[in-house]
Structure 1
Amino acid sequence: MHTNPSDPLIFRISPLVRITLISLYISLTIPLPFLAQVTSTPVSPIFLIVGAVIGLIALYAVLSEQVILDDQGIKVIYPSWVIGWWQGWSITWSEVKALKPRTTGQGGLVYYFLSNDDKGYLLPMRVAGFSRLVAAVQAKTGIDTTDVRPLAQPWMYLILLVFTFFLLLVDGWTIFTAISMDTINLG
């Protein structure tokens, strides 16, 4: 398939990242209402369910990010239903002064586009096709991106997904035990 070089490149969050983070969120929150019911906490299970659903919607919204590169610049956008929660950003290629690395609190390395007025714009690093994205950035800006690597490698998300699967199994056992205890207490 031939694409026009002037067509915008669109990058979405990697499916592996999306599935892993959504699964992890579900595995961490799904047993809470059941445990609240069994332990008679002052927090209503309904409150926990509503909070978990709102959190899941917010997580899905963040993971709906799209990165668009065209001849004018790069922009990060969200679907129309997300606007108002998170605002995207954009910067033209002529405004990009540099691509600067910054160390995260956990010791990782992220990169920011530094604009002519010294504003920083975080380079999206969890997109599918990250190497294509940085190659396009280098082609458009002339900035050397050979040392730019994603924050986390796919194998890290795969390991997290496997452990999340085991956590979901433990969740199933926890929910089964909580329902059994609740049935015994009612009986």
Structure 2
Amino acid sequence: MSDQRYPMAPLIRFTLISLYLALVFPLPWLAPAELRPWLIGALPLGLLLVWALVSEEVSLSESGLQVGYPSWCSWLLRRGWSLNWDEVKGLTPVATSQGGRVFYVRTEDGSAYLLPQRVQAFEGFLGQFSQKTGLDTSSIGRISPPWTYQLLAGLCTAMLAFEAMVGWALLSGRWVLPSTGLS
């Protein structure tokens, strides 16, 4: 088996990036004039950080699995872990406050590592994990059902569209913000 890579699922990646943009993009234009240049400069830096965070990937090889980031951002985001297949001794389910379940990969020395559940081709990942470890993964599912990310992606897209329309109306002079009288 050559190394197989499992990046974050595209729907989840798109949703998190669009949520960042929808929430942060209007801030420079709503801020006082003296803060606008700083916020405009911070926008791409924040986007780069979010892009790096959603670039986490899982790599499976003959010897084990590794969770980490691509080289372009691994220097910044040093979190990650790797295990040889023979180190994996079990899975521990833990209920989340939202009603889902996450799973921790246990090792003989008592360490526990969060099993990635937001990867692309999740079923294929679980099949490979089960085959290499001998552990039953049939009860493992995604943390959240896809409809939750689809709904959030739709809401983010609607927010971005609304923000674009308001921005266009303001820039074209079709709409003027009322003066608050505050200085």
Q: Same fold (TM over 0.5)?
A: yes
Q: 1:169 aligns with which of 161, 167, 180?
A: 161
Q: 1:61 aligns with which of 52, 61, 75?
A: 52
Counterpart position of 1:21: 16
Cα deviation, residue 103, structure 1: 2.1
Alignment TM-score, normalising by the size of structure 1: 0.84
Q: Distance in 2 between matches of 1:144 and 1:57?
A: 38
Please tell me the residue identity of whatever aligns with 2:74. I
Secondary structure of the structure 1 residue equivalent to 2:74: coil
Secondary structure of the structure 2 residue equivalent to 1:124: coil
- Residue 134 in 1 paired to residue 126 in 2? yes
Counterpart position of 2:41: 50
Q: 1:12 aligns with which of 3, 7, 12?
A: 7
Counterpart position of 2:64: 73
Cα deviation, residue 153, structure 1: 2.2
Counterpart position of 1:155: 147
Change (3 A) 1:86 1:159: same
Q: Distance in 2 between matches of 1:171 and 1:112?
A: 40
Counterpart position of 2:74: 83
Aligned length: 176
Q: Distance in 1 between matches of 2:94 and 2:44?
A: 33
Please tell me the residue identity of whatever aligns with 1:8. D
Q: Distance in 2 between matches of 1:57 and 1:116?
A: 38
Q: Distance in 2 between matches of 1:126 and 1:102?
A: 16
Percent same amino acid among aligned pairs? 36
Please, what is the CA RMSD of the aligned residues? 2.2
Counterpart position of 2:106: 114
Q: Distance in 1 between matches of 2:14 and 2:61?
A: 28
- Residue segments in structure 2 that go unaligned for 5+ positions in a row: none
Counterpart position of 1:98: 90
Cα deviation, residue 27, structure 1: 0.8
**Deviation sequence 1:62-115 (CA, Å, 0-9, x none):** 111121111111101211121222222101111111111112233321111111
Q: Distance in 1 between matches of 2:55 and 2:74?
A: 11
Change (3 A) 1:47 1:108: farther
Q: Distance in 2 between matches of 1:178 and 1:125?
A: 42
Q: Distance in 1 between matches of 2:17 and 2:57?
A: 17
Secondary structure of the structure 1 residue equivalent to 2:66: strand
Change (3 A) 1:182 1:47: farther
Q: Distance in 1 between matches of 2:143 and 2:95?
A: 10
- Residue segments in structure 1 that go unaligned for 5+ positions in a row: 1-5
Q: Distance in 1 between matches of 2:168 and 2:28?
A: 13
